[in-house]
Structure 1
């Protein structure tokens, strides 16, 4: 049935979205669910939606939007794209291709193909319509659509009164997210825009709760887990703000928006130096509070605070980082980047919301300007962040008619661009530079596939020698029989290279020198003789 309802191209494009937006270990879990036969009731609707039920700890309902992957949903509690979505994808993929082939692609270094969908904040809508009410749900009876924003925060304080203790006695991230997700059900009957604004406030409230917990508990045991939780909250916040209809909110609920603005004046003074709160604050201004009069007022206030002589260095840096955001909003990118580049705590992820926004609005020159200024961060970014920026960068170069320069410019993004840059060098037959890069970045010989090695051996046989010899020395250095055997195999390739270059006399001197150097390694000498490398 799916073969008639979907096309191979649709499933292929869905796979690209999976590679861009989903964490590798989540995709692997989804593959396991698929192979275990946990996916059923799969159906496609109008070639635009893919639906299924997936058996986990409960039966979860998945809906994948094939035209806008960001709108895909699952009824499980995982805040981002989940294993149930991945499992459903594999069920559809298996109709056209072997899912194992997709897993091979997942595990290989790869260049990401540009898609406009990657510019949309990664987000999985939280589906709560069918959820059972929690024991605390009666607390929400006091809230009404006409309730003030101050009432929301008073309610959230009551809602979370037992949360700190629960976070200490159980897994903090699970307890925090459960609290955040469940409280959204309080607004299920509210107008959509108002419910979305409440979700923004609930997110900010729980982010502050998380930071208070970290400060009070001071335990390194949960450090990694809580860092990921803060990342997820910020991702959720960006997505919620991105999808919020700010125009409709201003029209129908202006008083709530004005109260949010007043509340934001307190937030810059929060006793929180973490980058997560700074990111949350700037996202609020970028998407929601971007009224010229409010922006100018905030800039003037930040300028006054920065000039306060009694500020600590940490406070002054925090206010400066916030002020730079408004410079970007005014188009003064150079001034903003000069401030941010002075901070050692800002990673590439801090800049990505801006760069994606520029690309969404097709401000390609502006995007490339930021790439130039951030090339060091791009070169040291982790895999997913680098692949995202590189994909958009290639699209920008193409849009501006500069694609011919893209390959050579990849050198600027080393070491993150190692795979892309090596592919460019090989395709352009710059074999020496290709091998030099592999040697410089300590890449194993196995990173070069057999076909590439054969091409270089045939055309430039001696170019491979430095890489082969380094690998041989590493194998000998292992001081075990299997390493010696592998070294002997590689030495045969060295001999063949010298033979093709008509330099067997050089080979004889090399092998005799190597045998003499390691004359005390009896097992290695035996492997040399067994391979007819020495007599």
Structure 2
């Protein structure tokens, strides 16, 4: 049916947009969904909107805009192009082309491309966007008029058995289920009041998670617990981002004042985990922005910093927190001067600021931070690197420096390896390209034959070191199959030397190689069989 309603050209054009705007991991997960056959009720509306239902943890409804893929929507919590949209795309694409070929393209190194959607938090608040339609109802004495202190008292009662349940069952699932379910308490409340309730539910559960680790795991953050903390922080970022902060300040200032009292106590936490620090900064950065509250918090931090004979870890903690307010005061260099020597701070520690600068189009400020954090960016995990580099390229474009981007990718190695290699190749800087491949120990077999031929045509001598290295590596394996592979490479090298009219150099190379390995009988036999005369 789709074949009659759509064209191959539409499918191909949509595919190019998917490659530009969707992360490889999301495309791969979408392909898995498509392969599992969980996409159904696929139909076309208005000749451009592909609608479908996708069975995930529940049934999600997708609208894929074939003309502008970025405008596609899904009812799942993920706010950017998601795996359900990708699965719907594959369902349509498979009618016209081989989806495996598209997946292979998606898995190849690609230039990242900036879209404003990158700056939107990945997850919206759960519980059906504040209406509680999808979370199990929770019996509670709370009303919309209840105070924040009442909320926290209820949270304590609600979770009285949570830590023991986490110890008995899967800790991460118990924790996140508790957080999701408790949000239904705010169903039917005024929207902004419910938003603030969700923020506090998040803060409470993050604190409870840290209590669990300290009490039951002797400060050992297992991967699934760390992942739960990261999910809670994603939800917190989304809750704050999508909150109506103007309405909160206009109608709920007493509740915000209570929030200040709670968050101020977080300074007493230790920094064996940084998760509470992330939440603390989010709240002050985007929610508790009253100048008097900030002034009071800064004064308390500075007083704590001056405590005589304080343990080094305590002093570092207060300096770390105080530096956050330096950023709020536009004293970025001062903050980075404090943070950069603390080697355990990952790139994710800095990302909230960098995304905020991009949202506010403070491009020079963003570039200042990328220059300061070059080493961290160059060693970051793939998703974080791609996000920063996409914004960085947009920032360079906005300040009129796009032509510098290719060469500057070298600064972000090793993370930028694929993009920098592509730049060198496209600019025909073949010597630097070969040097890069060799320095990263890329096997010759992994190099495209098209690339090798173009370099050979331009300057055959550039490939000599590559051939020599690979030939020597194969000989060191000391087995006949490897020797045979070495002979094949020798024949390729012979053709390269001949093209460069360097026959005498070739003969000397083969003579030295034969003499060096004259005791390897099997290699000598393969060398004779190879008939390697020019």
Same fold (TM over 0.5): yes
Which residue, 69, 72, 75 being the options, matches 1:73?
Answer: 75
CA–CA distance in 1 between the matches of 2:284 and 2:310? 24
Q: How does 1:191-270 map to 2 (within 5 A)?
A: 191-218=190-217, 223-270=222-269
CA deviations on 1:420-479 (whole Å, 9 max, x unpaired) are 222222222211111112222222224432211111111100101111211222222233
Q: How does 1:299-448 map to 2 (within 5 A)?
A: 299-448=298-447
How far apart are residue 257 of structure 1 and its match? 1.5
How far apart are residue 364 of structure 1 and its match? 0.9
Structure-2 residue corresponding to 1:116: 116
How far apart are residue 49 of structure 1 and its match? 7.4
CA deviations on 1:204-258 (whole Å, 9 max, x unpaired) are 1111111112112227997122222222221221121111111111112222122
How far apart are residue 343 of structure 1 and its match? 0.9
How far apart are residue 267 of structure 1 and its match? 1.6
CA–CA distance in 1 between the matches of 2:219 and 2:47? 48
Structure 1 residues 351 and 17, CA gap change in structure 2 (3 angstroms): same
SS in 1 for 2:52: strand
CA contact (8 A) 1:528 1:534 kept: no
Structure-2 residue corresponding to 1:173: 172
CA contact (8 A) 1:79 1:126 kept: no
Structure 1 residues 179 and 460, CA gap change in structure 2 (3 angstroms): same
Structure-1 residue corresponding to 2:101: 101
How far apart are residue 363 of structure 1 and its match? 1.0
CA contact (8 A) 2:172 2:225 kept: yes
How far apart are residue 97 of structure 1 and its match? 5.2
How far apart are residue 59 of structure 1 and its match? 4.5
Q: Which runs of 5+ in 1 are unaligned?
A: none
What is the aligned residue count? Answer: 524
How far apart are residue 42 of structure 1 and its match? 3.2
CA–CA distance in 1 between the matches of 2:451 and 2:306? 60
CA contact (8 A) 2:475 2:483 kept: yes
CA–CA distance in 2 between the matches of 1:371 and 1:420? 17
Which residue, 2, 20, 23 being the options, matches 1:19?
Answer: 23
How far apart are residue 19 of structure 1 and its match? 0.6
Report which stretch shifted further, 481-490 or 409-418.
481-490
| TM-score (structure 1 length as normaliser) | 0.90
RMSD over aligned CA atoms reads 2.9
Indicate yes or no: 2:36 matched with 1:36.
yes
| TM-score (structure 2 length as normaliser) | 0.90
CA contact (8 A) 2:11 2:92 kept: no
Report which stretch shifted further, 482-491 or 328-337.
482-491
How far apart are residue 371 of structure 1 and its match? 1.0
CA contact (8 A) 1:123 1:236 kept: yes
Report which stretch shifted further, 479-488 or 332-341.
479-488
CA contact (8 A) 2:79 2:122 kept: no
How far apart are residue 320 of structure 1 and its match? 1.2
CA–CA distance in 2 between the matches of 1:319 and 1:184? 33
Structure-2 residue corresponding to 1:61: 60
CA contact (8 A) 1:40 1:52 kept: yes
CA contact (8 A) 1:3 1:95 kept: no
Report which stretch shifted further, 465-474 or 218-227.
218-227
CA contact (8 A) 1:81 1:123 kept: no
Structure 1 residues 65 and 534, CA gap change in structure 2 (3 angstroms): closer
SS in 2 for 1:74: coil
CA–CA distance in 1 between the matches of 2:160 and 2:442? 53
Indicate yes or no: 2:136 matched with 1:133.
yes
Report which stretch shifted further, 294-303 or 479-488.
479-488
CA–CA distance in 2 between the matches of 1:283 and 1:260? 13
Structure 1 residues 404 and 474, CA gap change in structure 2 (3 angstroms): same
Structure 1 residues 458 and 80, CA gap change in structure 2 (3 angstroms): closer
How far apart are residue 166 of structure 1 and its match? 1.7
CA contact (8 A) 2:43 2:50 kept: yes
SS in 2 for 1:210: helix
CA deviations on 1:178-227 (whole Å, 9 max, x unpaired) are 11111112212112212121111111111111111211222799712222
